[in-house]
Structure 1
Amino acid sequence: MSDQRTVRIDIGGMTCANCAATIEDAVSDIDGVGEVSANYATDEATVAYDPERVSVSAVFDAVESAGYDPIAETVTVGITGMTCANCSATIEDAVGGLPGVVSVDANYATDEATVRYAPSVTTREEINGAVEDAGYEPIRDDGTSDGGESAKDAARAAELQRQRRLTLFGAALSAPLLAMLVLELFAPGTLSEEIPGTGLHIGWVAFALATPVQVVLGREFYENSYKALVVNRRANMDVLIALGSSTAYGYSVIALLGVLPQAGLYFDTAALILVFITLGNYLEARSKSQAGEAIRSLLELEAETATVVRDDGTEEDVPLEDVTAGDRLKVRPGERIPTDGVVREGESAVDESMVTGESVPVSKEAGDEVIGSTVNENGVLVIEATKVGEETAIQQIVQRVKEAQSRQPDIQRVADRISAYFVPAVIANALLWGAVWFLAPETLAGVVTALPLWGLAAGGPAAVGVTEFAVLVFASAVLIACPCALGLATPAATMVGTSIGAQHGVLFEGGDVLERVKEVDTVVFDKTGTLTEGEMHLTDARPVTPAADGAVAGEEGDERDSEEGGVAPEAAEYDDATERLLAAAATAEGGSEHPIAEAVVAGARERGVEPGDLQVLQNVSGKGIRARTEHGTVVVGKPELLREEDVDPDPALDAMRELETEGKTAMLVAADGELLGVLAVADEVRESAVDAVAALRDRGIVVHMITGDNERTARAVAEQVGIDPDNVRAGVLPEDKADAVESIQADGSRAMMVGDGVNDAPALASAFVGVAIGSGTDVAIEAADVTLMRSDPFDVVKAINVSEGTLAKIKQNLFWALGYNTAMIPLASLGLLQPVLAAGAMAFSSVSVLANSLLFRAYDPDERYRLFGRLR
């Protein structure tokens, strides 16, 4: 191999020498990889590879595919100086060429690059150096700049002010030039007259006004063009602007010096081109700032101080950054909760709308979790801080939104590929038509003079001369093209779309995920905790009574009074059987943390039965539990588990079926080989689940349900929420859910799996889109593509609506950007637009794309359902 490189990768997950051999085999199979040495003792691998044939990213992917964890860091670098999508591509090439860099995604709309790299090979400073070598300025953010602003925000504000000053400076000098242009239109020849007493004509005044504009405003375009062409060997938008402006200015200087005595002067054109473009850059920077406002507004929600309750009962106000996990904080009515925590004292309603999108205040009492930055409505709360700093929900939300904005949809790649070839094609086109107008002016003029816009072309070659008109066509043709509009079309809309999602409690992993969600045609819900509340309650305890010849007693052993008003002897036996059933089950389940087990224990205690001593507990996957207790050997679970213990479940099966038909989860209980009875727990269906399923079906989306529960219970829940019974898969073990999702997708369906993000992680990863639904305090769920801050299945519909709305906005932007170029380039090439109009149209194109994206901020993903009465 030629130009071989060596990279050292730290790897987690190796446990023996066989692991090292597995990694070596996996990486060695890649074409372009030479010697591979994995060392179990040092947890690292050294890989020799040919960068022309294989990337570091491919090596990392191979290690991950082998089941190990290559250690990489991800850093976001703020960058100033990017002017179009070609700049993004230049930075990606420059940083991506560093050894140890796994991936680079430079985003022109957010003025930053997200870099994933191996810290054992590449450093942050080397990344910054690569950005500088490419001709751009990295923002070295060491936390905050003076005044508490982040370095990136400070740099963006400074850039905004700089563009504003440049625009005002250029406008002040160009205003007289514009007046002179108007005067020339009404009194041709005015600029050729002499200035009294000087022997110089008025054109020198235009030169004096235009030259500072050319130097001050044009400087960055010339510098950027040099870097683009000479350093990076890639043409960008700055090259087009520099060509157009310098052509008009240079031609005018030559004419002023008398080399072309009959030629006109275009100093006004040269200056106004730069002023229009700079104004466009200012408006563009301002729009970018507004597009990213959602993130800053989220951070502004954080409290600045917290009231810490000390061990001696005293209270002290401290800065938020001084709060540590375990501190007790007092939150008064109307104050923001400083950080994530658990309520220890007090009761109140908390407004969580700014974080979860939940408009109704949520009641909180001791033991409930609270989210930092939410507002305590009434009552005093004392909370114990559980997450602080970057671990809080609000910080995780901000990080997720930033990551989502840095990962662009696949549709952006099309625009990037177009932009890469666009500028050279525009220059070639301008040269071609400039030459054609110079060589065959009369022939071409005869074709285009009949067009309705001919009047904008300064009268054509006959009016201004062949050479002059060819120069004008060239300048117009290079100025009219706008690759920056193409570069902004997708990221600007993605920024707004991900922000809208965050405001409504929907967090997308990336812009690519935002694009995929719209393509979903099947939604697969996990039942427990997703369609249902996820909180089981013991509803029935039905013992098997020998007095009834093995029959199962009525619900909870309904007490039957004697004629004297007391409890009949058979009822007393019945109560003893119920107590024995509850005591045996609660004792066995007391060692399990499963929701059903907790419901049984809590239900027994509510009925005055305390669990006894548990000696040994064994979970039988998918069937139940087996335990050794003071009540003997107890089994709780499905009929097949009892049969394995030589217990006949038949006497209780009718009651079990009856309970399951009601949508309850029923289980049999036996002790020392004796059937004791059947227990049932129920998980209430979420009120919004019915609306969510109806809304999805209205869209034509097929809805499935997967559950580990039995068939009858599953079908009962499906009937309540409106899911077709044929789309219900019951009795599915947690480890088999991924297979179930894959089988649903086997016919080409694009499935969205919605689960709790814990035991559903494999299924979430297998689905076309994985959606984790859960608590607002736990948003970093790695397996999910989308995280819903609320435990509300209707937010699945919101996610689809946000995706649909964002993609529609992206397509509008791309249609405008491509349509603009498709229409304007031919007009300029045919001589139908003057350079000043071309420059103005170019600036307008970028600003209009950003403005269209900003209009999207008013989008409400709930609105269509409010109109149709779906939302209560």
Structure 2
Amino acid sequence: MSDRNRVTIGVGGMTCANCAATIEDAVRDLDGVGEVSANYATDEATVEFDPERVSLADLFDAVESAGYDPIAETVTVGITGMTCANCSATIEDAVGALPGVVAVDANFATDEATVRYAPSVTTREDVYDAVAAAGYEPIRDDDGDAESAKDAARTAELTRQRRLTLFGAALSVPLLAMLVFELFAPGTLPETIPGTGLAIGWVAFALATPVQVVLGREFYENSYTALVVNRRANMDVLIALGSSTAYGYSVVALSGVLPQAGLYFDTAALILVFITLGNYLEARSKSQAGAAIRSLLELEADTATRVRDDGTEEEVAIEDIAVGDRLKVKPGEKVPTDAVVREGESAVDESMVTGESVPVEKAAGDEVIGSTVNETGVLVVEATKVGEETAIQQIVKRVKEAQSRQPDIQRLADRISAYFVPAVIANALLWGGVWFLAPETLAGVVGALPLWGLAAGGPAAVGVTEFAVLVFASAVLIACPCALGLATPAATMVGTSIGAQHGVLFEGGDVLERVRDVDTVVFDKTGTLTRGEMTLTGVRPVAPATDGAAPAGEEAEPTDDPAERLLAAAATAEHGSEHPIAEAVVAGARERGVEPGELQVLQNVSGKGIRARTEHGTVTVGKPELLRDDGADPEPAMDAMRELESAGKTAMLVALDGELGVLAVADEVRESAEHAVAALRERGVAVHVITGDNERTARAVAERVGVDPDNVRAGVLPEDKADAVEAIQADGSRAMMVGDGVNDAPALASAFVGVAIGSGTDVAIEAADVTLMRSDPYDVVKAINVSEGTLSKIKQNLFWALGYNTAMIPLASLGLLQPVLAAGAMALSSVSVLANSLAFRSYDPDERYRIFGRFR
């Protein structure tokens, strides 16, 4: 290792010297790593490595794979001055060269760069300086309000581009009028300026020169930075070449060196005006594409009514709210922050966060989401999350992260863009030279084409040298790498925003792309296809007491109803347990007027049930094998148990001192589950169910929602669900696992795509690639539809961008387009790609995306 870097990485999670040794072993195994020293006392690891053989990201991955947490910060920096995908690559190279940077992703469409770095080595100021050194302007977050700074910079840029466009247009209109007279009324304009004897061309020079200086300045400066500082050609180089060629040639001709040559001051000025106008429209379109995110932030309330301990009220700013504060929300007001209802009942409109159009009824104990609208009653809520922890802020964070992580298809555009500008310049030089050396030969071949007249009539009309210059200028101006660079990120911005508006959050643009390729969906049954809320549906006595004796234990309230006796005993045994089935039994008993009694002794038998001594007698509640262990015969109840399970209910046996019965609880199937399964099967997606419930219940639920019984895996423990998902994928299937994001985390991570179905406030589920804000299985279909529609838009954009260049570059090279037309077409191509992406904003993901009446 000749050139070594040394880096110190902060590490969280070390608890002893053995941890340090584990980290050292994990990092040292990497190729290119030299000396490694992990220090448990300082929570740091110092590594010497060869950056040409191993990256800092590899070091971080090694520490993470060893089970520890390398300390890193992530910052999103707004950047002005990017004009094409090559600018993004330049920034990535410049920032990525910093010693502590782990990863960097610059996005031309959002004018941002997301940087992950080790704070022990690199600072945010270092990142700003690297961006500035590359020739771009970072938006510094000096006052802590990054979004306001970016919005201010975006507004300032729009204003600047508009002023430049108006300035250039004012000077170019007379030039355009002179061009029209020359084309349609030759001889109308005088050859000299009256009273001066100077050629009329000096008027054109006087009008075009300020345009060249004011509008052309940034293109020339950016070209210098790109070629000299960064050694990478970008779109500005093409514009500077085309415009300066037309302007310089005209100056030489006007000076008398080429007395018979034409003047193209109008072309030089209009090129810059068209491109600047395109930049202005492009900036406006980018702003509109990100409007959905800004509108989410604008939904937040500015103030809240806080209830003091003495019952009095005060108005406070949102940023002054703390967790635990009690807040009053009147009808028509926004809920200030994520909270839980303590007093009152009301309907709350959550459509702006979850996409749910019907207001949701809220009562004491229910969660409410910040920024949603209270519609009817007065609520008193207790704040549970504030600031950046609220659902609305987490949604914005997730969407912005998704927009910064581009789909894999973007790599195609990036590879093309890297070589595009040099290839365009080489092509322009080639054809300019060919036209100069063999004009008659080419004119004979091309002259018969219908567009011939658009290039000033060919070399015979304007001269060989002049025509060769026109071909060169047209060939460099017609190419548009910015359209290619915008094709993917512009569509990704809109797609992720559509998802957020309908309660579907994608982890990244790469996930957005991957979802479309899913061919299998695996649902966790409880809480996903069903509501996850057990309800007691019945008590069925099946055998009387064997000897008719009174129950053992303390004297209980006598009853002649065996069902009531069994339920009272079971509810007493289950009272105090937090298990969903236990809670359902207790709640069901109380609904039937049966109160749980006093519990004397309780024994929980893991995986089988419970034994208890109660005031009603000795009771066993659980599976048949537990009853057998206690000497009770479960056989008389087995037929009833199987019957209930076949109906989709969960059945458990109750034995009370010789009496036997069956308790049945059920988890209600969600209304949209059947619709979701039908929609998935209609598009050819296989649907599976995984559950820890018994086989008969699982099959009954599967049959009800339309899942093939052969695709049901029952009795699967949480820790085994990942293995079940991997088994489904063993034949090459690309599975989407849909679960609750907690017990199902390993399975979500094992799947091709992991989807966490949430509660509205639980946004940041780390194991999931996609988070659904509503507990609605049909939102899985929406996620696939959004992915499919976004990828269709990306392909459309790439088709138009590549098709435009494929068609236009040959036309310009063959001399069939004048430079001013080429410049106008170049500006139009970028705007058309953005307009096509913005047209996607009206898409409703409840339906599959259609183009020309066909599914895409």
TM normalised by structure 2 equals 0.95
Equivalent residue, structure 2, for 1:860: 844
Deviations 1:810-854 (A, max 9, x none): 110000000000000000000100000000000000000000001
* Contact 2:544/2:660 (<8 A) preserved: no
Measured after TM superposition, the shift of residue 102 of structure 1 is 1.0
Write the mapping of 1:180-219 to structure 2, written as runs, cut at 5 A.
180-188=178-186, 193-219=191-217
The 1:644–1:462 alpha-carbon spacing in structure 2 relative to 1, beyond 3 Å, is farther
Q: Hey, what's the Cα distance between the residues in 1 that align with 2:464 and 2:51?
A: 52
Equivalent residue, structure 2, for 1:25: 25
Aligned counterpart for 2:697 among listed residues 689, 713, 726: 713
* Contact 1:541/1:582 (<8 A) preserved: no
Which shifted more, 280-289 or 38-47? 38-47
* Contact 2:785/2:847 (<8 A) preserved: no
Which shifted more, 851-860 or 42-51? 42-51
Equivalent residue, structure 2, for 1:665: 650
The 1:59–1:396 alpha-carbon spacing in structure 2 relative to 1, beyond 3 Å, is same
Q: Hey, what's the Cα distance between the residues in 2 that align with 1:646 and 1:4?
A: 74
Write the mapping of 1:381-530 to structure 2, written as runs, cut at 5 A.
381-530=379-528
Q: What is the one-letter code of the residue matched to 1:576?
A: R
The 1:447–1:602 alpha-carbon spacing in structure 2 relative to 1, beyond 3 Å, is same
Q: Does 1:86 align with 2:75?
A: no
Aligned counterpart for 1:610 among listed residues 588, 596, 605: 596
* Contact 1:336/1:372 (<8 A) preserved: yes
Equivalent residue, structure 2, for 1:637: 622
Q: Does 1:761 align with 2:745?
A: yes
SS of residue paired to 2:716 = coil
Equivalent residue, structure 2, for 1:727: 711
* Contact 1:141/1:150 (<8 A) preserved: no
Deviations 1:360-399 (A, max 9, x none): 1111111111111111111111111111111111111111
Measured after TM superposition, the shift of residue 96 of structure 1 is 0.8
* Contact 2:648/2:698 (<8 A) preserved: yes
Q: What is the one-letter code of the residue matched to 2:112?
A: E
Measured after TM superposition, the shift of residue 650 of structure 1 is 3.1
Q: Hey, what's the Cα distance between the residues in 2 that align with 1:785 and 1:48?
A: 34
Aligned counterpart for 2:348 among listed residues 318, 337, 350: 350
Q: What is the one-letter code of the residue matched to 2:367?
A: E
Measured after TM superposition, the shift of residue 624 of structure 1 is 4.3
The 1:431–1:574 alpha-carbon spacing in structure 2 relative to 1, beyond 3 Å, is closer
Equivalent residue, structure 2, for 1:2: 2
Q: What is the one-letter code of the residue matched to 2:56?
A: V
Aligned counterpart for 2:325 among listed residues 299, 324, 327: 327
Equivalent residue, structure 1, for 2:810: 826
* Contact 2:569/2:656 (<8 A) preserved: no
The 1:671–1:166 alpha-carbon spacing in structure 2 relative to 1, beyond 3 Å, is same
Equivalent residue, structure 2, for 1:341: 339
The 1:40–1:525 alpha-carbon spacing in structure 2 relative to 1, beyond 3 Å, is same
SS of residue paired to 1:318 = strand
Deviations 1:175-219 (A, max 9, x none): 111111112213446778121222210111111111110000000
* Contact 1:754/1:773 (<8 A) preserved: yes
Root-mean-square deviation (Å): 2.2
SS of residue paired to 1:525 = strand
Measured after TM superposition, the shift of residue 424 of structure 1 is 0.4
Equivalent residue, structure 2, for 1:594: 579
The 1:529–1:257 alpha-carbon spacing in structure 2 relative to 1, beyond 3 Å, is same
SS of residue paired to 1:162 = helix
SS of residue paired to 1:387 = coil
Q: What is the one-letter code of the residue matched to 2:804?
A: Y
* Contact 1:708/1:733 (<8 A) preserved: yes
* Contact 1:648/1:675 (<8 A) preserved: no
TM normalised by structure 1 equals 0.93
Deviations 1:112-145 (A, max 9, x none): 0011111111111101111111111110123467
Write the mapping of 1:110-149 to structure 2, written as runs, cut at 5 A.
110-143=110-143
* Contact 1:437/1:469 (<8 A) preserved: yes
Measured after TM superposition, the shift of residue 6 of structure 1 is 1.2
SS of residue paired to 1:732 = coil
Unmatched 5+ stretches in structure 1: 551-568, 867-872
The 1:760–1:194 alpha-carbon spacing in structure 2 relative to 1, beyond 3 Å, is same
* Contact 2:304/2:315 (<8 A) preserved: yes
Q: What is the one-letter code of the residue matched to 2:195?
A: G
Q: Hey, what's the Cα distance between the residues in 2 that align with 1:570 and 1:761?
A: 47
Q: Does 1:801 align with 2:785?
A: yes
Measured after TM superposition, the shift of residue 638 of structure 1 is 3.0
Equivalent residue, structure 2, for 1:654: 639
SS of residue paired to 1:224 = helix
Q: What is the one-letter code of the residue matched to 1:35?
A: E
Measured after TM superposition, the shift of residue 637 of structure 1 is 3.4
SS of residue paired to 1:198 = coil
SS of residue paired to 1:667 = strand
Equivalent residue, structure 2, for 1:738: 722
Measured after TM superposition, the shift of residue 615 of structure 1 is 6.4
Which shifted more, 341-350 or 277-286? 341-350
Q: What is the one-letter code of the residue matched to 1:342?
A: V
Q: Hey, what's the Cα distance between the residues in 1 that align with 2:85 and 2:117?
A: 23
Q: What is the one-letter code of the residue matched to 2:569?
A: R
Q: What is the one-letter code of the residue matched to 2:459?
A: P
The 1:202–1:22 alpha-carbon spacing in structure 2 relative to 1, beyond 3 Å, is same
Q: Hey, what's the Cα distance between the residues in 2 that align with 1:291 and 1:281?
A: 15
* Contact 1:543/1:581 (<8 A) preserved: no
Equivalent residue, structure 2, for 1:14: 14
Measured after TM superposition, the shift of residue 671 of structure 1 is 7.7
SS of residue paired to 1:11 = strand
* Contact 2:569/2:614 (<8 A) preserved: no
Q: What is the one-letter code of the residue matched to 1:655?
A: A
Equivalent residue, structure 2, for 1:576: 565
Q: Hey, what's the Cα distance between the residues in 1 that align with 2:849 and 2:446?
A: 53
Measured after TM superposition, the shift of residue 8 of structure 1 is 1.4
* Contact 2:369/2:761 (<8 A) preserved: yes
SS of residue paired to 1:150 = helix
Write the mapping of 1:38-437 to structure 2, written as runs, cut at 5 A.
38-143=38-143, 150-188=148-186, 193-437=191-435
The 1:190–1:605 alpha-carbon spacing in structure 2 relative to 1, beyond 3 Å, is same
* Contact 2:219/2:236 (<8 A) preserved: yes
Give the % identical residues. Answer: 85
Unmatched 5+ stretches in structure 2: 549-557, 851-856
Q: Hey, what's the Cα distance between the residues in 2 that align with 1:807 and 1:698?
A: 20
The 1:350–1:478 alpha-carbon spacing in structure 2 relative to 1, beyond 3 Å, is same
Deviations 1:527-571 (A, max 9, x none): 111001111112233456444799xxxxxxxxxxxxxxxxxx994
Q: What is the one-letter code of the residue matched to 2:52?
A: E
Q: Hey, what's the Cα distance between the residues in 1 that align with 2:27 and 2:768?
A: 27
SS of residue paired to 2:31 = coil
* Contact 2:95/2:131 (<8 A) preserved: yes
* Contact 1:191/1:203 (<8 A) preserved: no
The 1:12–1:215 alpha-carbon spacing in structure 2 relative to 1, beyond 3 Å, is same
Measured after TM superposition, the shift of residue 579 of structure 1 is 2.7
Q: Hey, what's the Cα distance between the residues in 2 that align with 1:824 and 1:762?
A: 51
Q: Hey, what's the Cα distance between the residues in 1 that align with 2:731 and 2:701?
A: 26
* Contact 2:568/2:616 (<8 A) preserved: no
Measured after TM superposition, the shift of residue 298 of structure 1 is 0.9
Measured after TM superposition, the shift of residue 802 of structure 1 is 0.7
Equivalent residue, structure 1, for 2:554: none
Measured after TM superposition, the shift of residue 641 of structure 1 is 4.7
Measured after TM superposition, the shift of residue 651 of structure 1 is 3.6
